[in-house]
């Protein structure tokens, strides 16, 4: 232990070893390859032993740069990816661990990261995670304390040497060496769904994502859209394409929206149905399809591919790599084979009829119909907001004065009760005290998003519907986008980052917290002495 300038430094034992996955992904002359393993439920069952056997084969083969380990896919319990990652690392190949936000609060995430750092498991794919479905004696309670942008910020601070106040001054840990990426879905049918995915993608990169992996789909134009969007927006991090070796059974589940975030259209499902009547039940066809995806992804400029599929053998993965390399020289000839658009699907760019991919001209979004109706309550909320919640406007000063007056007095309880009852009636308020209604067009992410996402939608929505409540509730971000677009303000969802909920404020008056600069809005709106200046509209200058 060393001490310097009132900062305590803690080191860890062991020498850093090379991260072959990171090196391959950052090498412009290498097509990085990862292979997905699913740990399965149990500790010493066949699925875990098969995963370790696959790791040994991949390490010996030398064509795969990392093994991806899922974290409770589909919302079902499975062996913790961290421990399998340690065993895989011992077998001589880098693990890429899925690090999700669904089951852990921010303290437990930090603890998990310390353990991963200690074990030198450094490659992480940070995601929201599938909503929990099954567990011991019923459906488990989800956590979703912070979203992937916050988790990426935590990882970034740990990579710099996390600092926090201790008894004898500021404590600073030795820097970790995580290589953390994030996911995005370009496979959305509606404008609102797709735009909020791209808004959140930019926030993830700004929060420290070092690579990006798209969710699962089979539309070549959508893969091209993603990589072109990233280039045009200077999101200069590697992109890893997603390839799933798709049999009919899995395709049918995805087609029926039973695997969140994975898109298989009716056209593709019909092809899979024909293929399963072949002598080999379609095995050769789906392996060739995967190899062709490898080829066009390499041609488009993807930095790597992620290969998954149930029961896949190492020899089949090698075939996809070798065949994909062979086909990549003429990848443009393959694009027409992956024409699987969603019905009336939205594309960010206009189509290039010559190539079948995208031009560089964005689709004109102005004048396009809204993806869901704008409720009357939002129009009323806008009027109330303009009078009460905009700095330097009308009743803002009065409300701030009232908040100062009632704080700490007996009347505060009554004030809080009246506020809460009004917000329960109008917005289904959960009384978190750190209100994000202003940030999300008065669609509450804490009560109306099952995953409590404060910086953008998860990847599980389908045709505008919430992953958890399909055909019953619209995604809260689809609603927010429609509300804002109706007034030409949809870019507000792209303009700032919302901090995680501060649970010190739970069941306290969010109005008092807002006006007195206690909540997450303080800096952005200039409501405390340490905040940045704001313009007349209440937006932070230079932010």
pLDDT value of residue 40 = 87
Contact in structure between 460 and 129 (CB atoms under 8 Å): no
Contact in structure between 291 and 319 (CB atoms under 8 Å): yes
pLDDT value of residue 76 = 87
Phi, psi of 42 (to 5 degrees): 120, 175
Find the distance separating the first CA and the last CA of the chain, reported in whole Å: 39
Instruction: State the Cα–Cα distance between residues 381 and 378, nearest whole angstrom.
Output: 5
β strands within 209-267, DSSP E? 212-214, 240-244
Instruction: State the Cα–Cα distance between residues 488 and 467, nearest whole angstrom.
Output: 27
Any bridge partners for residue 100, and if so which? Answer: 127
Question: Would you say residue 186 has pLDDT above 60?
Answer: yes
Question: Would you say residue 225 has pLDDT above 90?
Answer: yes
Pairing of strands 163-166, 169-173: antiparallel
pLDDT value of residue 539 = 40
Contact in structure between 315 and 307 (CB atoms under 8 Å): no
Phi, psi of 37 (to 5 degrees): -120, 140
pTM: 0.92
Question: Would you say residue 297 has pLDDT above 70?
Answer: yes
Question: Would you say residue 477 has pLDDT above 50?
Answer: yes
Burial annotation 57-76 (CB, 10 A radius, 16+ → b, else e): bbbeeeebbbbbbbbbbbbe
Residue 528 pLDDT grade (very low, low, confident, very high; cuts 50, 70, 90): low
Average pLDDT over residues 192-207: 98
Question: Would you say residue 533 has pLDDT above 50?
Answer: no
Residue 74 pLDDT grade (very low, low, confident, very high; cuts 50, 70, 90): confident
SS3 161: coil
Q: What DSSP state is assigned to residue 374?
A: P
pLDDT 10s digits, 344-376: 999 999 999 999 999 999 999 999 999 999 999
Write down the H helix ranges in 428-497. Answer: 476-485
Give me 534's structure tokens: 């704001």
Greater model confidence, 166 or 35: 35
- pLDDT averaged over the chain? 92
Average pLDDT over residues 86-97: 94
pLDDT value of residue 11 = 42
pLDDT value of residue 79 = 87
Q: What is the CA radius of gyration of the chain?
A: 25
Q: Name the percent of the chain lying above pLDDT 70.
A: 94
pLDDT value of residue 527 = 65
Average pLDDT over residues 411-436: 96
pLDDT value of residue 474 = 97
Average pLDDT over residues 316-327: 98
Of 51-55, 294-298, 505-509, which range is least confident?
A: 51-55
pLDDT value of residue 16 = 58
Please report the sign of the dihedral spanned by the C-alpha atoms of residue 283, residue 287, residue 288, residue 289. Answer: positive
Average pLDDT over residues 181-205: 98
440-445 contacts, C-beta under 8 A, 24 or more apart? 440/476, 440/477, 440/480, 440/493, 441/378, 441/479, 441/480, 441/481, 441/483, 441/484, 441/492, 442/377, 442/378, 442/381, 442/382, 442/385, 442/483, 443/476, 443/477, 443/479, 443/480, 443/483, 444/476, 445/476
pLDDT value of residue 469 = 96
Instruction: State the Cα–Cα distance between residues 9 and 107, nearest whole angstrom.
Output: 21
Question: Would you say residue 205 has pLDDT above 90?
Answer: yes
Residue whose pair of structure tokens reads 């000063």 in the numeric block:
397
Of 383-392, 417-426, 449-458, 505-514, which range is least confident?
A: 383-392
Average pLDDT over residues 121-139: 94
Q: Which of 529, 521, 528, 523 is nearest to 541 (CA)?
A: 523
Residue 21 pLDDT grade (very low, low, confident, very high; cuts 50, 70, 90): very high
Question: Would you say residue 15 has pLDDT above 70?
Answer: no
Question: Would you say residue 333 has pLDDT above 50?
Answer: yes
Give me 379's structure tokens: 């129009």
Instruction: State the Cα–Cα distance between residues 114 and 120, nearest whole angstrom.
Output: 10
Q: Which domains does the chain have, with CATH numbers?
A: 2-339 (3.20.20.220), 376-525 (no CATH)
- The helix or strand, by DSSP H or E, that contains position 349, with its residue range, turns out to be strand 349-351
Greater model confidence, 274 or 525: 274
- The helix or strand, by DSSP H or E, that contains position 284, with its residue range, turns out to be helix 283-300
Q: Name the percent of the chain lying above pLDDT 90.
A: 85
532-535 contacts, C-beta under 8 A, 24 or more apart? 534/391
Residue 168 pLDDT grade (very low, low, confident, very high; cuts 50, 70, 90): confident
Q: Which of 295, 254, 182 is nearest to 462 (CA)?
A: 254
Average pLDDT over residues 241-261: 96
Give me 330's structure tokens: 């003429």
Greater model confidence, 168 or 437: 437
Question: Would you say residue 526 has pLDDT above 90?
Answer: no
Give me 236's structure tokens: 């200069």
Instruction: State the Cα–Cα distance between residues 173 and 169, nearest whole angstrom.
Output: 13
Instruction: State the Cα–Cα distance between residues 93 and 314, nearest whole angstrom.
Output: 14
pLDDT value of residue 530 = 44
pLDDT value of residue 394 = 80
Instruction: State the Cα–Cα distance between residues 88 and 119, nearest whole angstrom.
Output: 11
Give me 26's structure tokens: 């950052």
């Amino acid at each position: 232990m060393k001490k310097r300038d009132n900062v305590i430094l803690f080191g860890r034992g062991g020498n850093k070893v090379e991260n072959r996955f990171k090196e391959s992904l950052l090498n412009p002359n290498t097509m990085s390859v990862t292979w997905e393993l699913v740990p399965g439920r149990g500790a010493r069952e066949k699925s875990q032993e098969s995963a370790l056997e696959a790791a040994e084969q991949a390490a010996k083969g030398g064509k795969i740069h990392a093994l991806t380990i899922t974290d409770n896919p589909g919302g079902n319990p499975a062996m913790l990816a961290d421990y399998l990652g340690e065993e895989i690392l011992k077998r001589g190949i880098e693990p890429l661990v899925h690090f999700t936000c669904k089951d852990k609060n921010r303290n437990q995430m930090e603890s998990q990261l310390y353990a991963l750092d200690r074990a030198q498991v450094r490659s992480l794919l940070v995601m929201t995670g599938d909503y929990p479905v099954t567990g011991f004696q019923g459906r488990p309670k989800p956590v979703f304390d912070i979203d992937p942008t916050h988790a990426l910020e935590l990882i970034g601070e740990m990579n710099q040497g996390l600092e926090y106040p201790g008894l004898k001054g500021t404590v600073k840990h030795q820097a970790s060496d995580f290589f953390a990426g994030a996911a995005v879905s370009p496979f959305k049918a509606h404008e609102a769904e797709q735009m909020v995915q791209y808004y959140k993608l930019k926030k993830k990169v700004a929060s420290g994502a070092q690579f990006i992996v798209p969710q699962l789909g089979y539309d070549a134009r959508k893969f091209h859209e993603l990589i072109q969007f990233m280039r045009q927006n200077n999101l200069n991090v590697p992109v890893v394409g997603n390839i799933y070796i798709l049999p009919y059974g899995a395709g049918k589940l995805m087609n029926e929206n039973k695997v969140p975030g994975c898109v298989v259209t009716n056209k593709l499902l019909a092809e899979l149905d024909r293929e399963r009547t072949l002598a080999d039940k379609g095995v050769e066809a789906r392996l060739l399809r995967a190899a062709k995806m490898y080829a066009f992804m390499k041609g488009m400029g993807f930095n790597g591919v992620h290969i998954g599929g149930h029961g896949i053998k190492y020899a089949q993965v090698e075939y996809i790599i070798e065949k994909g390399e062979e086909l990549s020289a003429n990848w443009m000839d393959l694009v027409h084979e992956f024409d699987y658009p969603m019905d009336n699907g939205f594309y960010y760019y206009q189509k290039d009829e010559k190539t079948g991919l995208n031009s560089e001209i964005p689709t004109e979004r102005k004048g396009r119909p809204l993806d869901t109706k704008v409720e009357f309550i939002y129009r009323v909320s806008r009027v109330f907001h303009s009078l009460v919640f905009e700095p330097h406007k009308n009743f803002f000063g009065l409300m701030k004065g009232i908040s100062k007056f009632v704080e700490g007095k007996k009347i505060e309880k009554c004030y809080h009760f009246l506020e809460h009852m009004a917000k329960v009636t109008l917005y289904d308020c959960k009384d978190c005290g750190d209100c994000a209604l202003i940030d999300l067009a008065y669609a509450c992410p804490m009560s109306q998003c099952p995953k409590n996402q404060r910086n953008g939608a998860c990847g599980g929505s389908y045709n505008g519907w919430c992953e958890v409540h399909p055909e019953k509730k619209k995604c809260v971000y689809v609603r927010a986008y429609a509300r804002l677009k109706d007034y030409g303000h949809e870019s507000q969802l792209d303009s700032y980052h919302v901090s995680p909920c501060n649970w010190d404020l739970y069941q306290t008056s969010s109005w008092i917290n807002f006006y007195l600069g206690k909540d997450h809005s303080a800096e952005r709106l200039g409501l405390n002495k340490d905040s940045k200046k704001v313009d007349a509209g209440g937006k932070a200058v230079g932010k």
